[in-house]
Amino acid sequence: MYDNLFFIIVPYAVTIMAIVVTAQRYFKKPFTYSSLSSQFLESGELFYGSVSWHIGILAVFYGHLIGLLFPRQVLWLNGVPARLYLLESSGLLFGLLSLAGLVNLIIRRHTSARIRAVTSKMDIVVLLLLLTQVALGVYVAIFYRWGSSWYATSLVPYLRSLFLLQPDLATLAPLPLAIKLHVMNAWLLIAVFPFSRLVHMLVVPIPYLWRPYQVVIWNWNRRKIRGVAARPKPRPVATALPLSDELKPTNRPVTTR
C-alpha cells in the first residue's frame, strides 16, 4: 500500500510537476534562474565546500545515470573483481567527497552572518534533503556493498518500469529500508527541484565552449529597414503578423565577431 504511494504515485506526480513547473519558470520567470552564488560574500570556505561537493556529486550523479542507461555493460564491466573493486571504491570516494563538501557548505551557511543574510527557507530544505540523500547513499555504499552491480537488477527494472508506464515494484519491494529511503528521498528532491536554486544545473554554460567571444546584438535590422524605407510601410497589426526571424528583436546574438 505505502509502497504504491511512495514508489509509484509520488514519482509520477513529482516528475510531472517538476517538468511543468521548471519549464514554466524557465520561460515565464527567467530572471529567477541563477546559481545564486554567495562567493562574493564569503570565498575562502566556499572553495573547499563548493568544489568538493560539485565534483563529488557530479561523479555520483553520472554514475547513477550510466548505471541506469547501460546496466548490461556495467554488469559486464563488474565481471572481473578488480574492476568491480575499482568502481565501487571510486563511487564511495566520490560519495564521501560530496558529503564532506556538503557538510562544509552547511556549516558555512550557518556560521557566516553574511551568508545567513542570503539564505532562504528553501535553501535550508534543499540542504537537508541533499544531506539525507548523500548520507543514505554513503551508508548504502558501505553496508550494502556491490551496489554498482545489484543496482542493475534491483533498481533499474523498477525505474524502467516507471518510464514505460508499467510500474512494477517486484524488484524494489524486498530491498532494505535504507535503500528504499534513498529512493524516496530522491523523489522528494525532484519535488523541490523546480522551486529551488537546484534549477541552476539546467543552465550550466556548456555552449560557451564553442561560442564566439564577442556578442553583438542588433535590436532590429537597419539595413533591411532603410533599404525599404523609400516607400512608407503600413504599420503591422500587433501580434497578428508573425515577424520574420530576421526582423524580430532577439535575445540571441544576430551577428557575432
Partner 1 sequence: MDVRLQISMVFHLDKCIGCHTCSVACKNVWTDRKGAEYMWWNNVETKPGTGYPTKWEDQEKYKGGWERKNGQPELKMGGRVLRVLNVFHNPYMPKLDDYYEPWTYKYEDLLNAPEGADQPTARPISMVTGQHIDIEAGPNWDDDLGGSPVYAANDPNFSALTEEQQAELFEIERLVFFYLPRICNHCLNAGCVAACPSGAIYKRGEDGIVLINQEVCRGWRMCVTACPYKKTFYNWSTGKSEKCILCFPRLETGQAPACFHSCVGRIRYLGGLLYDADKMLDAMNAQDYNLVEAQRDLILDPFDPEVREGALRNGIDDATLEAVRRSPVYKYVKEWKLALPLHPEFRTLPMLFYVPPLLPVMANTDAGTYDTANDELFAPIEKARLPMQYLAKLFSGGNVGEVSYALKKQYAVRLFKRLETVGDMDAATVKQALHEVGMTEGEAEAIYRLTSLPTMDERFVIPPSHREEAMQMLGDDFLLDRGEAGLGLRDRPARGA
Stretch that binds partner 1, among 63-71, 92-100, 135-143, 222-230 (CB under 8 A): 222-230
Among 77, 169, 186, 254, binds partner 1 (CB under 8 A): 254
Does 119 sit near partner 1 (CB under 8 A)? no
- Nearest distance, CB of residue 141 and partner 1, angstroms: 23
Does 124 sit near partner 1 (CB under 8 A)? no
CB atoms within 10 A of CB 223: 9
Quote the CA–CA distance of 12 and 5 in Å, as a whole number: 10
Nearest to 147 by CA among 118, 122, 183: 183
Q: Residue 74: is it exposed, middle or buried by C-beta count within 10 angstroms (0-12/13-18/19+)?
A: buried
Q: Which of residues 186-215 bind partner 1 (CB under 8 A)?
A: 195-197, 199-200, 203-209, 211, 213-215
- Nearest distance, CB of residue 17 and partner 1, angstroms: 15
Does 244 sit near partner 1 (CB under 8 A)? no
- Nearest distance, CB of residue 200 and partner 1, angstroms: 7
Nearest to 186 by CA among 133, 126, 134, 131: 133
- Nearest distance, CB of residue 237 and partner 1, angstroms: 7
Among 22, 38, 98, 154, binds partner 1 (CB under 8 A): 38
59: left (phi over 0), alpha (psi -120 to 50) or beta: alpha
Does 4 sit near partner 1 (CB under 8 A)? no
How many residues of this chain interact with partner 1, rule: CB under 8 A?
71
Quote the CA–CA distance of 119 and 109 in Å, as a whole number: 8
Quote the CA–CA distance of 148 and 78 in Å, as a whole number: 8
Q: Which of residues 41-70 bind partner 1 (CB under 8 A)?
A: 41-43, 46-47, 50-51, 54-55
Quote the CA–CA distance of 64 and 152 in Å, as a whole number: 10
77 versus 96: smaller Cβ distance to partner 1: 96
25 versus 169: smaller Cβ distance to partner 1: 25
Q: Read off the C-alpha cell for 176.
A: 532494505
Quote the CA–CA distance of 134 and 98 in Å, as a whole number: 8
Does 230 sit near partner 1 (CB under 8 A)? no
Does 104 sit near partner 1 (CB under 8 A)? no
